C-alpha cells in the first residue's frame, strides 16, 4: 500500500523550513511519495512519524542478502503474469556434519560442479547448507570449516544449528563469507539474535505453525533484529503448499509485517526423484529458498530449469534478434536455415547446426518470441514475411546458391515461399534433433 503525498504530509512537522532542500513540507511530501526524496533529509521529523512512514513504504517482503550475492524475497505478486517474479528461489545443498572431512570435501566438490549450460543460459545452485546433525559444537565448527575451504568462491553458505554457542564458534572463522544462519526457535532466539547481529548476518526464524511463526518473528524483531528468513517447518507436501501460500498472501495482500520476510522450505523425501518433485511444488508456490539433499546433475538440472521458466519475465519474451545469424566460419557455399526468433527454438537449432560442423546461416524470423508451431498457428510464420526478411537481410548477396531450408512443421508454406522469394525451398526436419543427419545428407562434403 503506497502512501499518498497527503498521507505523508500529515506526519511531517509542517515547519516549511526548507532545510530539506524543498521549499515547503507539502512539496517534500509529494517528492517522498514519488520516491524522489528521502525522509532522512528532514531534520525535524518525529521518531514516531519516521517509524510509521518507514514501515508503510517498506516492500511487502523484505529483501535479504547474504553470501556471494544471494538475494531472497522482495516479491510483489502472487502470479507471474501479474508482473513478474524477481528473485529466483535460491537452492542450497545440505551437507551434514555427521560426514567425515573427506566426505564433506567430496560433497562440496560435487556442489561446486552443479553448473549447467543450455539454450544460451548458464545456471547453477547457490551453495550449501551445513547442518549440525551431530549436535556437537566442535564437530559442527570443523565441518563448517572444511566445507568453506572446499566451497567455490562464487557459492554461498547457510549454517544450521539450534545451539547459539555452536553457531558462534562455527561462524567466526567463516564470517567473511557472510552466511545465512539459523535457526532461531522459541527456546534459543535471544542467543541466536545476539550471534547473528554481532556478525551482521541474516537469521532464520523457525517455528511450526503460522501462529507460532508470527509470534516468534515478532519477538525477534522486538529483540532488535530484522534481517530475517522464515522457516515454517515444511514436512508434508500439501500442508507445506498451504502454509507457503498463506505466508505469501499475508505478506503481499495484507502487508502483515510479521511475515514480511523471505521463506525457506526443506524437502522431506529420501529418494532424490521424489525429493525433486516435492521441491518443484515448493519452488512453484512461493519458497524463496530451498534446502535439498539431491546432488546429482540429472536430478538438480530439471529443478533449476523449472526455476528458469518460472522466473522468466513474462513482459519480455526471451528472443534473439530477428536477423541473419552466422554459425561458424560461413562461406558463400553455406546453407541457409530459417527458424523463429524465440530464443529456445533458435538456440536449439543453433546447437544442432554447430554440432553438424557445417558453417551455416540462420535467418531468425520475428515471431514475437514464439516457437515454430505456435508462430505458424498464430499467422506469424507466413511465406510473405520470410521472403521479405530474406530480402531485407540480403541473403542473396551472402551466398552463391538459392536454397533455403525451412522447418518441417511449416512444410505447407514451401510452395508459396518459392513463389514469393524465387528460391528453392528445402523442407528440413520437424525437430531440431533431426538437423544433424539432415545437414550431413544434404550439405556434407
Q: Which residues bind other proteins (CB under 8 A)?
A: 79-81, 115-119, 210-211, 214-215, 218, 236-239, 241-242, 245-246, 249-250, 253-254, 256, 258, 272-274, 276-278, 280-281, 284-285, 296-303, 305-306, 308-310, 312, 314, 342, 344, 348, 351, 370-371, 373-374, 377-378, 431-433
Q: Which is nearer to other proteins, 36 or 296 (CB)?
A: 296
CB of 85 to other proteins, least distance (A): 10
CB of 26 to other proteins, least distance (A): 36
Q: Which is nearer to other proteins, 97 or 243 (CB)?
A: 243
- Taking CA 130 as the corner, what is the angle to CA 129 and CA 134, rounded to the nearest 5 degrees? 145
Cα–Cα distance measured from residue 320 to residue 444, given in angstroms and rounded to the nearest whole number = 27
Q: Which is nearer to other proteins, 4 or 309 (CB)?
A: 309
CB of 438 to other proteins, least distance (A): 14
CB of 397 to other proteins, least distance (A): 33
Q: Which three cell numbers stand for residue 6?
A: 497527503
Cα–Cα distance measured from residue 182 to residue 264, given in angstroms and rounded to the nearest whole number = 11
Three-class DSSP labels, 263-320: EEEECCCCCHHHHHHHHHHHHHCCCCEEEECCCCHHHHHHHHHHHHHHCCCCCCCCEC
Q: Which is nearer to other proteins, 167 or 432 (CB)?
A: 432
Whether residue 399 contacts residue 337, with contact meaning beta carbons closer than 8 Å, is answered with no
Buried b (16+ CB within 10 A) or exposed e, 434-444: ebbebbeeebe
- Taken in order 48, 49, 54, 57, the sign of the CA dihedral is positive
**Which residues lie below 8 Å from residue 172, measured CB to CB, with a gap of 6+?**
199
CB of 310 to other proteins, least distance (A): 6
Sheet containing 228-231: order of strands: 228-231, 203-206, 180-184, 156-160, 127-131, 90-96, 289-292, 264-266
Q: Which is nearer to other proteins, 166 or 216 (CB)?
A: 216
Q: Which three cell numbers stand for residue 389?
A: 526478411
CB of 272 to other proteins, least distance (A): 8
Q: Which is nearer to other proteins, 172 or 218 (CB)?
A: 218
Q: Which three cell numbers stand for residue 283?
A: 519452488
Q: Which is nearer to other proteins, 176 or 379 (CB)?
A: 379
Q: Which is nearer to other proteins, 119 or 142 (CB)?
A: 119
- Taking CA 162 as the corner, what is the angle to CA 157 and CA 164, rounded to the nearest 5 degrees? 85
Amino acid at each position: 500500500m503506497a502512501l499518498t503525498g497527503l498521507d505523508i504530509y500529515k506526519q511531517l512537522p509542517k515547519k516549511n523550513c526548507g532545510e530539506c532542500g524543498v521549499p515547503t513540507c507539502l512539496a517534500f511530501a509529494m517528492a517522498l511519495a514519488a520516491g524522489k526524496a528521502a525522509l532522512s533529509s528532514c531534520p525535524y521529523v518525529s521518531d514516531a512519524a519516521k517509524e510509521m512512514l518507514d514501515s508503510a513504504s517498506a516492500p511487502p517482503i523484505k529483501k535479504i542478502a547474504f553470501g556471494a550475492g544471494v538475494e531472497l524475497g522482495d516479491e510483489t505478486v502472487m502470479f507471474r503474469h501479474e508482473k513478474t517474479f524477481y528473485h529466483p528461489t535460491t537452492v542450497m545443498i545440505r551437507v551434514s556434519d555427521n560426514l567425515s572431512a573427506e566426505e564433506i570435501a567430496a560433497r562440496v566438490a560435487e556442489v561446486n560442479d552443479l553448473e549447467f549450460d543450455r539454450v544460451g543460459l548458464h545456471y547453477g545452485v547457490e551453495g550449501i547448507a551445513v547442518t549440525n546433525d551431530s549436535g556437537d559444537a566442535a564437530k559442527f565448527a570443523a565441518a563448517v570449516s572444511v566445507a568453506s575451504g572446499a566451497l567455490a568462491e562464487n557459492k554461498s553458505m547457510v549454517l544450521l544449528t539450534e545451539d547459539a554457542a555452536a553457531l558462534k564458534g562455527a561462524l567466526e572463522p567463516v564470517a567473511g563469507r557472510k552466511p545465512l544462519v539459523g535457526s532461531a526457535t522459541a527456546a534459543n532466539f535471544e542467543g541466536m539474535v545476539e550471534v547473528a547481529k554481532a556478525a551482521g548476518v541474516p537469521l532464520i526464524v523457525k517455528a511450526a505453525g503460522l501462529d507460532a511463526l508470527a509470534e516468534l518473528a515478532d519477538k525477534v524483531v522486538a529483540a532488535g533484529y530484522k534481517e530475517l528468513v522464515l522457516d515454517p517447518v515444511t514436512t508434508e507436501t500439501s500442508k507445506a503448499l498451504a502454509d507457503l501460500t498463506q505466508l505469501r498472501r499475508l505478506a503481499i495482500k495484507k502487508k502483515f509485517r510479521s511475515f514480511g520476510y523471505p521463506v525457506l522450505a526443506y524437502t522431506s523425501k529420501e529418494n532424490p526423484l521424489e525429493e525433486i518433485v516435492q521441491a518443484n511444488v515448493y519452488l512453484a508456490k512461493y519458497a524463496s529458498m530451498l534446502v535439498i539433499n539431491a546432488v546429482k546433475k540429472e536430478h538438480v538440472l530439471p529443478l533449476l530449469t523449472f526455476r528458469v521458466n518460472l522466473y522468466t519475465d513474462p513482459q519480455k519474451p526471451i528472443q534473439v534478434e530477428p536477423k541473419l545469424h552466422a554459425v561458424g566460419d560461413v562461406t558463400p557455399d553455406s546453407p541457409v536455415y530459417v527458424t523463429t526468433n524465440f530464443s529456445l527454438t533458435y538456440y536449439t537449432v543453433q546447437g544442432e547446426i554447430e554440432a553438424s560442423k557445417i558453417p551455416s546461416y540462420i535467418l531468425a524470423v520475428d515471431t514475437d518470441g514464439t516457437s515454430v508451431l505456435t508462430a505458424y498457428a498464430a499467422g506469424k510464420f507466413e511465406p510473405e514475411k520470410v521472403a521479405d526478411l530474406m530480402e531485407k537481410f540480403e541473403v542473396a548477396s551472402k551466398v552463391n546458391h538459392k536454397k533455403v531450408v525451412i522447418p518441417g512443421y511449416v512444410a505447407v508454406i514451401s510452395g508459396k515461399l518459392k513463389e514469393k522469394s524465387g528460391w528453392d525451398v528445402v523442407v528440413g526436419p520437424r525437430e531440431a534433433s533431426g538437423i544433424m543427419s539432415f545437414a550431413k545428407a544434404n550439405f556434407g562434403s
